[in-house]
A and B are shown apart, each in its own frame.
Chain A
């Protein structure tokens, strides 16, 4: 009898614990039940492991020219033992270069997103906190940025620099996200301005800085965080696109998926087409992974989806 009672008590305790979970905990719990989130999570997780531990995982040194003696202007040796994906036009192991490229992709994508979020949050935060003419001026600026197609904007910014490098790519790609983050944050900051708890904080004489940073900003950041995961995917795509178009880092030793794809498709698509497929597939899969994670995060954080 006693054990039966205890058994019955257990789920009730669990229920009680679940009801007291924070918003973040609730979102994680919901994501763990969604197949979309799990698929995205696995892809993203594998990519992160490969990118972070790239130097350990590369079977060969990605910068050493191995089969240089076999390469002719119109011949590149295919896959063979020791080179599962073959070699590129310099005889470098393609698998190792793909793995090294994962790290490059992660660095460029993450940094571009972070820079975009920072600039966007500063612009949107100022506009939302001050309102009035500050808001008007900043938002017109953002409108101008939004009026350019995103890739065109990135290309124009990248083309401004005489000496293209990894940093010009990061800066150019980050500018695509800036207007989106700025508008998002400004919108939710403005709605927070009239929120009851902000009025309550004002009725307590809380200082203006504390109202903005402690009461308005933390309540406005949710959509920005979700957008950042989605932007991570587009950042990777845009960075690859810039390299593909020859606006990326020209250093030939740098393993970068967009650059590898561009070179393979421009110069030896008819000789070794698979050298173009591999980086293209890698780009697609990684972008898909981040998109799935972002979408399911958005869904999980949406209070309307509460179950």
Chain B
């Protein structure tokens, strides 16, 4: 049995007197223990909403969540608020995008770690601060016992993200959801944070859901990748498969729009035309069709289904053929 089984997860944003907007549209995926799964897509494709829905952190009002999220067999969506609170931080952890605003500015770092340890592992304040020193050390923060009494604004961006990771991993959750953990950091720090995440995941056997728009992050970290477009999974593949032979024109477009060092001089980047529209209708045809270079007449009439393809899944009427894809090979 998989650690996490997401089945037909659907999130509608409902507002009185307006048509509801489907942010996440029947997404299903599994996460095995110790596995790293990527959710990739551009802004507005529903990747963050998916993570918030799994954690049940969406606002109480204004949305409707359906489907099931089974964690070790228990449907998280059916738990009471209290039961869910007990699981958050203990079984499931989360790392957010902006490390500064995700830390409480008026409380020292140490207290923010011990708070979780006291809450979930029933530790005394004293034992918790010993453990907190250990945790900060483990995430590579130098001089951890001094850092415990410092405030978030006294740490650098990379340190803050390390501290956030330490807090999320304090109770050794079996699943960690990282929502764009490197977006707010500069490139050298990004690499360090990714290396840290990879190391922690391997050491502790924590499963990781990596949410990102950055294919470089995916290439370095994920075992399996789900590409999202308009709230639906359009392609799922193992990492090498995805980078070697992208099948969906959207994936192919994403890969082709990344600058490459080995590209010939004067070779132009190929952007994806257009931008994500606010409400993408999947009812009458493929949502990507208006921007798709491969679009056929059928694409604008019949919504494609997610079907098995080359060991993964694909939602496309006219996928990119391997020969064409060679240009957008692995980075």
Contact = CB atoms under 8 A, between A and B. Distances in A.
A197 B99 CA distance: 9
B107 A218 contact: yes
A203 B168 CA distance: 9
B103 interface: yes
A207 B106 contact: no
Contacts of A23: 105-106, 153
A205 B104 contact: no
B88 A204 contact: yes
Interface in B96-129: 96, 98, 101-107, 115-116, 119-120
A31 to B, nearest CB: 19
A201 interface: yes
Contact of A205 (B85, B96, B103, B105): B85
B184 to A, nearest CB: 11
B87 interface: yes
B94 interface: yes
B55 interface: yes
B183 to A, nearest CB: 13
B9 interface: no
A200 B164 contact: yes
A197 B102 contact: yes
Contacts of A20: 150, 154
B101 A195 contact: yes
Nearest to A192: B104
A29 interface: no
A196 B119 contact: no
A210 interface: yes
Given A200-B96, A218-B106, A206 B89 contact: yes
Given A20-B154, A203-B55, A204-B167, A196 B87 contact: no
A134 to B, nearest CB: 14
B85 A207 contact: yes
A219 interface: yes
A210 B114 CA distance: 13
Nearest to A217: B106
A17 to B, nearest CB: 11
Given A22-B151, A195-B101, A202-B57, A219 B106 contact: yes
Contacts of A266: none
A215 B119 CA distance: 15
Nearest to A195: B101
Given A197-B102, A218-B106, A219-B105, A205 B87 contact: yes
B213 interface: no
Interface string A1-35: 00000000000000000001011000000000000
B249 interface: no
A214 interface: yes
B90 interface: yes
B168 A196 contact: no
A214 B107 contact: yes
B220 to A, nearest CB: 24
Nearest to A198: B104
Contact of B94 (A200, A207, A214, A219): A200
5 contacts: A196-B96, A200-B103, A203-B168, A205-B120, A207-B119
Counting from the closest, the 5 A-B pairs by CB-CB distance are: A204-B89, A205-B88, A205-B89, A196-B101, A203-B94
Given A20-B154, A203-B93, A218-B107, 17 more contacts: A23-B105, A23-B153, A196-B96, A199-B57, A200-B102, A202-B88, A203-B57, A203-B96, A204-B93, A204-B115, A205-B86, A205-B120, A206-B115, A206-B119, A207-B119, A219-B104, A219-B106
